[in-house]
Structure formats: structure tokens, C-alpha cells
Amino acid sequence: MRVAEMDWRMIEDWARADDRAVLPLGSTEQHAGLSLMTDAILAERVAVEAAEPLGVPVFPVMPFGFSPHFQAFPGSMTLRVDTLCAVVRDLFDSLKRSGFRRILLVNGHGGNAPAGSLAQEWMMDNPDCRVRIHDWWRAPRTFAKVLEIDPVASHGSWMENFPWTRLAGTPADEVKDMIDIDRLRTLAPFEARTLLEDGNYGGRSQRPDADMLAIWQVAVAETRAMLEAW
């Protein structure tokens, strides 16, 4: 259940009986012809749909992450690593004060990996709590489904082109050769933009919605299974 649809009394009542909560992490960064908020949209939506039948509270998505490599693309926002970790730590502390002891981080952005290290450190200081990190798009069953449909899948490509991340005027299906990702990691932001051009790392820009919904069903079920396992 979205926290936006709850008041503080509902949270208090829930936490007395069940100490699970979900915190989605996203980013605001270029995704070629898709929404700048793609990572945030997907992380929050998969979390909400997974948690809904269980009644587990889902907090609003953290919309900013670590994205320095895209800073030459207007609209791309980034936090420094220490800022990201400080914010996530404060959120963990707030969740604990609210009565939550089992926190599922549903992450939609690879650059947020430092939050996983922070979670380990936080649990060391809070041994009565547990945090699980769930990179929903590369979880085993979900990523297997992606590869089954099309093994050439990357940032800004078809694998992030869902009906709810697609914008009016998004280009029709195009195919782009994969860029050299190892080289990309060595480039300054302005050089990265030159290499990426539109921002897609490579592969098709779009696949039929039937394919995307098939992936989504697996992703929601896999995320829900993590909550049920607790």
C-alpha cells in the first residue's frame, strides 16, 4: 500500500503487527527517448504492485541517485556518494523509529550500489534490523526473462521502454550497435555524451508491449516473493 494513501495512525497500527516496509530507490537521468524519471517510475511501480496484495507499506521513491556519468545530458541529476549514503541512512533511521525492522530496498538504478554497502554498515549498528537490496531489473528470474526475449538489452534501450516510461513522440523501433561500455566508464561526462549520442547504450529501442508486460509480470512476482519470504 502506498504511504501516500495512509496517515500516521495507519502506519502505527501496521507496524504493531508487521515490521516490513518497502523503500524504492531510483534516479533522474537521461534514458534516450524515455522519461528522465524512468528508474524512479519503474522502481516505485514494481514495489507498489508487488506489495499491494500483502498490504505492506511502500514509501515514496527516492528520485535522485548517483549519476555523474550523465551530467552532460540536461535534466540528469546526481548526488555525491556520501550524500546518497547519508540520505539513505537517515531514511533507515526514520523507518526504524516508526517501528519497521525489515526493510526491502527496491532499487531501479545501478549507480545506487553504494546504498547496498551502507545497508550492511547500518545493520552492523542496528543488529535488530534487516535490510534486503533488490535490484529488480537484474534479479535472476526477471533478467532471465529479458534475455529470453532479446539478449541485447541495455540502458535506455527496449528493456526500459514500458508503456509507463514511454513519452509521446518517443521514436519508433530503431536498432543501435552496442557502445563500448568499458570505454564509457573511463570518459568525462561531455565525452560520454559524444559517445552515446541519443543516450541508448545499444540494441532495439522498443519491443511489443506484450513482451514488456511478460517481463513485468515476472518482475512483480519476483519482488513479491522477497517480501513473502520474510
Query: What would the pLDDT profile of 165-183 be if each residue is shown by its tens digit?
Result: 999 877 778 899 999 999 9
Report the distance separating Cα 202 and Cα 160, nearest Å.
12
pLDDT of residue 170: 74
Its pTM stands at 0.96
Instruction: Give pLDDT tens digits for 191-226.
Output: 999 999 999 999 999 999 999 999 999 999 999 999
Q: How many CB atoms are located within 10 Å of the residue 217 CB?
A: 13
Most distant CA atoms of the chain, gap in Å: 53
Q: What is the mean pLDDT of the chain?
A: 97
- Fill in the DSSP letter of residue 100: -
Cell of 76: 540528469
Residues recorded for the chain: 230
* Ranges of H-type helices in 79-208: 81-97, 114-125, 140-149, 181-184, 189-196
| Structure letter (DSSP) for residue 117 | H
Phi and psi of 106, rounded to 5°?
Answer: -95, 105
- Note the pLDDT of residue 172: 76
Residue 223 to residue 228: CA distance in whole angstroms: 9
Structural domain spans, the chain: 3-228
**151 φ/ψ angles, rounded to the nearest 5 degrees:** -70, -15
- Give CA–CA dist 12/7, Å, rounded: 9
Q: Using CA atoms, how far apart are residues 67 and 139, in angstroms rounded to an integer?
A: 21
pLDDT of residue 216: 98
Give the architecture (CATH level 2) of 3-228: 3-Layer(aba) Sandwich (3.40)
